[in-house]
Amino acid sequence: MRAVRPIFLAFALVLAVPLSGCTAQPGPQAWAASVCTALSPWRSEIDSLTSRTQQQMTAKTTPRQAKENLARLFDGAASASEAARAGVERAGVPDVTNGDEIAHGFIGSLAGIRDAYGNARTGIQALATAPAKAFYDEVGKVVERLTADYEKSSLDTTKLESVELRQAFDSLPECK
């Protein structure tokens, strides 16, 4: 067996230090910035899709057109929610008390929202477009279920409070 040469040991230590830093938890400011960066395009997309869905519900279109448009809108919302969820997951776990619970709460909430939109898309796709009145009545039920599912998936921040994260979210321009 050969002895480890000091140069190889030094080299190994030099490499180990930066690599060990890659697994460290981000501080509150860094985590909040990553989360807000992931959520910003999602919020814009959801606002846009919500507005377009409301317009679609009152527009004079055929049931077939409405069905296609709503399915596309809900698919876009589900995709945007998944992108936001993945971005928050990439942010890691913040280095705060209960950081793991907080990160998982955000991720779980976004997964629930993604699933709510996915279920709405599936519900719309399953609807018959005739007779028109029955179609629009059923669309209303799908939207009601979406609203209920969306509300169920909202993040209960009372259980996931962190003073450091609250300050970070309140102070960062990415989070405004």
What 123-131 contacts at long range (C-beta under 8 Å, 24+ apart), as own/partner pairs, is 124/67, 124/70, 124/71, 124/74, 125/67, 125/71, 127/67, 129/62, 129/63, 129/64, 129/67, 130/63
In a domain, 12, yes or no: no
Q: 121, 127, 87: which is closest to 107 by C-alpha?
A: 87
Containing structural domain, residue 154: 26-175
In a domain, 8, yes or no: no
Q: What is the reported pTM? A: 0.82
In a domain, 20, yes or no: no
Q: What is the rounded CA–CA span in Å between residue 105 and residue 74?
A: 23
pLDDT for the residue 104: 95
Count up the domains in the chain and report the number. Answer: 1
Kindly report, residue by residue over 16-67, the tens digit of the pLDDT. 333 334 458 999 999 999 999 999 999 999 888 888 877 877 777 899 999 9
* All residues at 6 or more sequence positions from 55 whose CB lies less than 8 Å from its CB, including other chains: none
In a domain, 34, yes or no: yes
- Residue 91 confidence class, pLDDT cut points 50, 70, 90: very high
- 15 has pLDDT over 50: no
CB atoms closer than 10 angstroms to residue 166: 13
Q: 61, 84, 85: which is closest to 72 by C-alpha?
A: 61
